[in-house]
Amino acid sequence: MNNHLIFQKIIKREISSNILYQDQIVTAFEDINPKAPIHILIVPNDFIKTANDINQKNQNIIAHMFCIAIKMAKEKKISKDGYKIIINCNKNGGQEINYLHMHLLGGIKLKTLY
């Protein structure tokens, strides 16, 4: 099974997930393997494989993903203390599912990678 199908099934509500936000452009839901007390994934409803596949045609989707991440950070009350927004790209960048997605992490002091 292609690993990107799991996100498509969540978006279509064919499998159970704790969806926190959904509109015509994106879906946001809790990560099933959280790395922080708050760990939300924000995915475009239309399939984009990786960050390398962002182009002029779909660039507005990325801006919307950031807006929803900020909205979620405020709703989860982590916007003042701080949070991370991460997009991994391909295997060496840590992307495990071949479907563009943004991680919103917070609720604790997060370490940097460098």
- For the annotated catalytic residues, the residue numbers are 101
The span from the CA of 3 to the CA of 46, in Å, is 15
Amino acid at 30: E
Backbone angles phi, psi at 8, to 5 degrees: -65, -40
